[in-house]
Amino acid sequence: MNREVFIIGGGKSLDGYDFNRLKDKDTIAVNVSALDVPNPTYCITADSSIFRRVQEGYFKDVNTTWVLVTNPEHCSMKFRDGKFVHKNGFVYNLFCMNMVIRNAGVEGIGFTFSDFRTGYNSGFCALQLAVLLGYDVIHLLGFDLIGTHYHKHYSPNQQIAVKTFEKFYKNFVLALNILKDQTNIKVISHSPVSRLNRIIPYERL
């Protein structure tokens, strides 16, 4: 029997979605979508601001396994003297996370945890995690790669630039083509507006 997982991103296509439909599914919530998915199986982030929110209790009511993807030279926090420190001096507590994965690179897709790829964003990290956890069918929700988020948990200046989305898209294309050529993993888009619908099947939820 195929093992299926639903990965929940932040795209605008999730406006009005009934997240309770996922309550009996294996799920990986990306960043702030952790607040909407009922008891997500995993929540994942590669974002230092989300890491800090976890530490400060922003997600205290979320029952999940938190996964942090990072490396000692993260763009906004460096690992020095046994601790991660933000450039503004904030000290992160790794014990807030259940699993810490050191990324090995950006492009492509890894098939071992020691070869974990990030694609430069947390949503891609969720896809990489799903592959490594052995899921055969991976459902992508809210992976629009255009526009704004469905939620209001980010400030306006945290909206993603078009050129950044372009970088994300190229990394997804490379990884999805590798999965298509080298594995039997099926990746399905459930966003009617996703740019990924050009290379993977779209199915209406």
- The pLDDT assigned to 146 comes to 86
Q: 149 or 156: which carries more pLDDT confidence?
A: 149
- The pLDDT assigned to 164 comes to 73
pLDDT tens digits for range 187-201: 999 999 999 999 999
Answer whether residue 150 shows pLDDT above 70: yes
Answer whether residue 156 shows pLDDT above 90: no
Q: Is there a contact between 119 and 128 (Cβ–Cβ < 8 Å)? A: yes
- From edge to edge, which strands make up the β-sheet containing 137-141? 99-102, 65-70, 42-45, 27-30, 4-8, 137-141, 186-189
What proportion of the chain, given as a percentage, has pLDDT over 90?
81
Domains of the chain: 4-198 (3.90.1480)
Q: What pTM, to 2 d.p., does this model score?
A: 0.93
- The pLDDT assigned to 37 comes to 97
Query: Is residue 53 within a helix (H) or strand (E), and if so which, with residue range?
Result: helix 48-55
Spatial separation of the C-alpha atoms in residues 104 and 204, rounded to whole Å: 34
pLDDT tens digits for range 78-105: 998 889 999 889 999 999 999 999 999 9
- Record the tokens describing residue 153, joined without a space: 């948990």
Mean residue pLDDT across the chain: 92
Query: Is residue 27 within a helix (H) or strand (E), and if so which, with residue range?
Result: strand 27-30
